[in-house]
Amino acid sequence: MPDKVAVGASQGIVRDSRQDWPATRGVRLESLRRTGDLTRGGLPEAFVVAMIRGMSHPISYDPEELKRLLGEHALRFGNFTLASGKTASYYLDCRHLTLHPRGANVIAAGILQRLLALPELPDAVGGMAIGADPITASVVVLAGQQDLPLLGFMVRKEPKGHGTGRQVEGPVRPGQRVVIVEDVITSGGSALAAVKAAREFGLEVLGVIGIIDRLAGGREAFAAEGVPLDTLLTVRDFGITE
């Protein structure tokens, strides 16, 4: 790693040592991208983003490894009835991946990389229990290893009938900016329910990040609600076109 790195020279951002890198956290990434300064020094964007965020090293994410792991552990072909009641010739059980030692790390790296590419790191990530829970945990752990202040939260399918009666659980508070995470995007119903609950709690939902999109209407459903959707993969990555 170089001892001296210049980033965004037109904005006067020069850091002479790694100890000073956290001071650049306030720089807005889209401004650097717009001026072309983000990679002007010839460094990979992931490296520069890591520097701006005050991280010790960039997040390493390999989409081809995720594709291989998903194909090995989560994708099955046959006749299946989905939660929506529709039938399909394939099934994606991403719990076999989100609860897999390597799979959890690769998914977390992919999602955290997307979060770091946002203009500002959100305050928290979370989603609908139970499918989103291992994703949330993996992302928060990886963020913590990088000293990134990213919280996690869970959304119950229904509010608790006792205690605080909350539907949104975790160290979040109204007004914070969050991203909803999900494993498989089909119709989008589960993640949209999490969006609704998070908004009712007072959180500002920036968007949804899923592991894989079945391209079965979910993206259109999110667009109709004004919620940006991003996924690490789609079924087209596996040659599935139905």
**Per-residue pLDDT reduced to its tens digit, 71-97:** 999 999 999 987 777 889 999 999 999
| pLDDT for the residue 27 | 45
Q: Give exposure, 197-207, as e/b (b: 16+ Cβ within 10 Å).
A: bbeebebebbb
Show the domain range for 22.
5-52
Query: What's the pLDDT tens digit per position in 119-139?
Result: 889 999 999 999 999 999 999
Residues 46 and 71 in one domain: no
Residue 27 lies in a domain: yes
Residue 134 lies in a domain: yes
Residues 112 and 206 in one domain: yes
Residues 225 and 175 in one domain: yes
Burial of 234 (0-12, 13-18, 19+ CB in 10 A): middle
Residues 133 and 43 in one domain: no
Helix (H) / strand (E) containing 128: strand 124-128
Residues 72 and 40 in one domain: no
The residue ranges of the chain whose pLDDT is under 50 are 1-27
How many structural domains compose the chain?
2
Q: Are 97 and 75 contacting, i.e. CB atoms less than 8 angstroms apart?
A: no
Residue 102 lies in a domain: yes
Compute φ and ψ for 28, nearest 5 degrees. Answer: -85, 125
Residue 229 lies in a domain: yes
Residue 191 lies in a domain: yes
Its pTM stands at: 0.78
Q: Whole-angstrom Cα distance, residue 106 to residue 133?
A: 16
Query: What's the pLDDT tens digit per position in 215-228?
Result: 999 999 999 999 99
Q: Whole-angstrom Cα distance, residue 119 to residue 33?
A: 10
Residues 145 and 210 in one domain: yes
Residue 30 lies in a domain: yes
